[in-house]
Chains A and B, each alone.
Chain A
Amino acid sequence: MSQGDVLLDVQGLKMYFPITEGILIQHHIGDVKAVDDISFTVRRGETLGLVGESGCGKSTTGRAVLQLYRPTAGHVYFDGVDLTTLKGEELRRMRRRMQMIFQDPYASLNPRMTVGDIVGEPLEVHGIAKGKEKLDRVAELLEVVGLNPYFVTRYPHEFSGGQRQRIGIARALAVNPEFIVCDEPISALDVSIQAQVINLLEDLQAQFGLTYLFIAHDLSVVRHISDRVAVMYLGKIVELADRNELYENPLHPYTQALLSAVPIPDPEIEAQRQRIILKGDVPSPVNPPSGCRFHTRCPVVIDVCKEVEPEFKDAGGGHYVACHLVH
């Protein structure tokens, strides 16, 4: 993989949600450390997959990158501009260049607005198109995502899940963004529809030169669509590598356990598949374990893991991993 120029550079991103107690006077009694000091880059035109189990902070990362949550600490450089320092109008203008496709196509479209309004609204607020021009552009966008342009006057509830997700994609594309965060865009869809949406996303990437941060928990899908893949566990990125490298040569024990859970579509090989079963539950992000966060469940844990937090660094060839056994 050539070192393309970096579009998104995330450094030391932290997103803590405060926990408070009390009704009139609120005491700050702790934080949910949803994302705790992560760094990664996304190159122009590539797809970075972000995987991990539920609650590990994938979606929070996506939202904090786009400043839908204001990060607690860290920097997010988008094409050289630090988004965390932007406010109000400046940030609003940047939104033209970065968009998001949401997980739940049922909840993320305003039920009171027609498809035409949902897709066309960003055109108007960003001063891209108005009136007739806007309608033409909306029709064009609907066509691009494989919907009948005739649907503009309909409301979201009149569509199926897959169609709604296409509306969400058309909406995100409306402003001609360079970067799109896809927050589990297919996990709420039927399996039969998932492939269609994935193919659509790939076609659009080729057509418009888009850059994706693709968040998912389906490892096969991520392998299919991503150029590089990052694995998250409890608010941290534990491993990041080129797709094939990661899937064929996982270094982190957590990645190994995750990958061993992927079924293989060949009954003979599948019968011999050795699963690494992790014991116990994911610890609470309020009080994450000391040292390596994975040490409570790690099958190959050694003493140092409980004391010292492993550094996230290159193990060779751009394969980043945070594990004492590797370094």
Chain B
Amino acid sequence: MTKYIIRRLLWNIPVLFLIAATTFGLSRALPGGPFDFAGDRSLPESVRENLKRKYNLDAPIYVQFADYMMDLMRGDLGPSFRYRNQTVNDILKQTFPISFQLGILSLALGLLIGIPAGIIAALNHNQWLDYLSSFVAILGVSIPNIVLGPFLIWIFAVKLGWFPAAQWGVDYTELYFGFIPPMNSDFWSHAALPTITLGTALSASIARLTRASLLQVIREDYIRTARAKGLPERTVIIVHALKNSLIPVVTILGPLFAGVVTGTFVVEQIFGIPGLGRHFVQSVTNRDYPVVMGTALLYSVLLVLANLFVDIAYAWLDPRIRYD
């Protein structure tokens, strides 16, 4: 197993290198450059040339890429072209933990609601509880965050005043180890609405997957064996059926995790959360090459690691899957 993990980690290096090279090439292939505008004025030609020289953008692209990779080895993601006083490391350090907190909370909410809802639906197959939960799940998948977010704000923040309408409760300077937020009421009250917004869609898709997979498993012969043993129904479902039906859920958790902890542009915009999400979008429109690279690499690293964890979880869920 250890050997397998080490081999997988080593294999990820060429994968990440390829992603870095492609992103580097594609971002620079886009027409325009980072210094075309300052605000709404275009910069004079001479200023642009100077800036390009300062950031070494006039060198051939392979030289730039080699330089970038050398810096990357040292853990330096370079300066932001847009936010003049900040490095990409600063930006990630300030925004990623916030997105991560929101993402983990939403994913937890999604699992907490989605798996039990899926189980209830499957156990009441083709009865009203099943139809109800499937209906709610389809509703949850279909309502876009851009509708649900403002709707929740309108009801719970504006009308009822239970939660703040926007912002994140803690600043990145308050985080323990730069990551863990203080669990105070400020944090929770600010987190509630965006977490529900993001978690609803997640729980809906998790519920549908759990239901479909469990329905298949409870028809298996060994479930009948378990009943014939005289096990209580609860044990039959939780011990025998659920573990067998979790594989598809675990499979989507990998990409879901990577996607959700790196920030969601729409939800962060609606709630004014200073997360990483907007940098994915703005860095491209700004041609802020180092930020494009930084966000893309962070996402890829998380994705390959999450998939590695998924594969390890398979081995735990299904003893027929063994790696060596």
Partner of B240, one of A26, A110, A168: A110
When each residue 45-83 of chain B gets 1 if its CB lies under 8 Å from chain A and 0 otherwise, what string results? 000000000000000000000000000000000000000
B230 touches A126 (CB 8 A): yes
A92 to B231, CA, bound (A): 7
Q: Tell me whether B235 is interfacial, beta carbon within 8 Å.
A: yes
A212 within 8 A of partner (CB): no
B221 touches A104 (CB 8 A): yes
Contact across chains for A110 and B222 when beta carbons are under 8 A apart: yes
Residue A61 CB within 8 A of the other chain: no
Given known contacts A110-B240, A111-B244, is B229 in contact with A125 (CB within 8 Å)?
A: yes
Q: Which of B221, B227, B229, B240 counts the most A-chain CB atoms under 10 A from its CB? A: B229
Q: Which one of A100, A104, A155 lies within 8 Å of B228 (CB-CB)?
A: A100
Which residue in chain B gives the minimum CB-CB distance to A24? B131
Q: Which of B106-114, B256-264, B282-290, B315-323 contacts A (4 or more CB under 8 A)?
A: B315-323
C-alpha spacing A125/B239, complex, angstroms: 13
Chain B, residues 220-236, CB within 8 Å of chain A (1/0): the string is 11101111111110010
Q: Identify which of A109, A121, A155, A168 gathers the most chain B CB atoms within 10 Å of its CB.
A: A121
Contact A125 B225 (CB under 8 A): no
Q: Are B230 and A175 in contact (CB under 8 A)?
A: yes
- Tell whether, in the assembled complex, residue A111 and residue B224 are in contact, meaning their CB atoms are under 8 Å apart: no
Complex interface bits, A177-209 against B, C-beta within 8 A gives 1, otherwise 0? 000000000000000000000000000000000
Contact of A92 with B232 in the complex, beta carbons under 8 Å: yes
Q: Check A279 for interface membership: any CB of B closer than 8 A.
A: no
Chain A neighbourhood of B221, CB < 8 A: 102, 104, 107-108
**A contact patch SS:** loop
For residue A93, which residues in chain B have a CB less than 8 angstroms away from its CB? 230
Given A112-B318, A122-B229: A102 in contact with B244 (beta carbons within 8 A): no
Question: Do A68 and B228 touch across chains, with their CB atoms under 8 A apart?
Answer: yes
Q: Does the CB pair B319–A95 fall under 8 Å?
A: no
A112-B319 CB under 8 A given contacts A107-B221, A107-B222 = yes
Q: Which of A257-314 contact B (CB under 8 A)?
A: none
Verify if A171 is at the interface (C-beta below 8 Å from B).
Answer: yes
B243: interface (CB < 8 Å)? yes
User: Contacts A107-B221, A110-B225, A112-B244 given: A125-B319 contact, CB under 8 Å?
Assistant: no
Contacts of A104 in B (CB 8 A): 221
Q: Is the CB of B319 within 8 A of A111?
A: yes
> How many Å lie between the Cα of A284 and that of B126 in the bound state?
26
Interface residues of B in 192-207 (CB under 8 A from A): none
Q: Which residue on chain B has the smallest CB distance to residue A99? A: B228
Q: How far is the CB of A14 from chain B (nearest CB, A)?
A: 21
- Inter-chain CA distance A114–B318, complex, in Å, is 11
CA distance A155 to B227 in the complex (A): 20
Tell yes or no: A157 within 8 A of B by CB. Answer: yes
Which of B226, B243, B318 has the most chain A CB atoms inside 10 A of its CB? B226
- C-alpha spacing A258/B13, complex, angstroms: 68
Contacts A95-B228, A125-B235 given: A155-B222 contact, CB under 8 Å?
no
Chain B contacts of A155 at CB under 8 A?
A: 319-320
Judge whether A58 is part of the interface by a CB distance below 8 angstroms.
Answer: no
**Cβ contacts under 8 Å, B222 to chain A:** 107-111
Partner of A95, one of B229, B317, B320: B229
- Cβ of A234 under 8 Å from chain B: no
CA distance A109 to B235 in the complex (A): 15
Specify the chain A residue showing the minimal Cβ separation from B244.
Answer: A112
Residues of B206-256 contacting chain A, CB below 8 A: 220-222, 224-232, 235, 240, 243-244
Q: Are A110 and B229 in contact (CB under 8 A)?
A: no
The contact string, 1 if C-beta is below 8 Å from chain B, for chain A 80-117, is: 00000000000011111001101010011111111000
Does A108 lie within 8 Å of B318, measured CB to CB?
no
Determine the chain A residues whose CB is within 8 A of the CB of B131 once the complex forms.
24
Contact across chains for B318 and A125 when beta carbons are under 8 A apart = no
Q: Is the CB of B224 within 8 A of A95?
A: no
Q: Does A66 contact B (CB under 8 A)?
A: yes
Question: Contacts A102-B221, A125-B235 known; A111 to B229 CB distance under 8 Å?
Answer: no
Q: Is the CB of A125 within 8 A of B231?
A: yes
Inter-chain contacts of A175 with B (CB < 8 A) = 229-230
Tell me, rounded to whole Å, the shortest Cβ–Cβ distance linking B110 to chain A: 24
Q: Are B229 and A109 in contact (CB under 8 A)?
A: no
Note all chain A residues with C-beta closer than 8 A to B126: 26
| B232 close to A125 (CB less than 8 A) | yes
Interface residues of A in 109-158 (CB under 8 A from B): 109-114, 121-122, 125-126, 155, 157
Q: Whole-angstrom distance between the alpha carbons of A26 and B229 in the complex?
A: 33
CB-CB under 8 A from B318, the residues of chain A are 111-112
- Residues from chain A with Cβ under 8 Å of B317 in the complex: 112
A145 to B213, CA, bound (A): 34
Tell me the complex Cα distance, A93–B231, Å: 9
17 A/B residue pairs, CB under 8 Å, sorted by A: A24-B131, A63-B224, A92-B231, A92-B232, A95-B229, A100-B228, A104-B221, A109-B222, A110-B240, A111-B222, A112-B243, A112-B319, A122-B229, A125-B235, A155-B319, A168-B225, A175-B229
A positions within 8 Å CB-CB of B: 24, 26, 63, 66, 68, 92-96, 99-100, 102, 104, 107-114, 121-122, 125-126, 155, 157, 168, 171, 175
What residues make up the interface of B, taking CB atoms closer than 8 Å to A? 126, 131, 220-222, 224-232, 235, 240, 243-244, 317-320
Given contacts A110-B225, A171-B229, 9 further A-B contacts (CB under 8 A): A68-B224, A92-B232, A99-B228, A102-B221, A107-B222, A108-B224, A113-B240, A122-B229, A175-B230
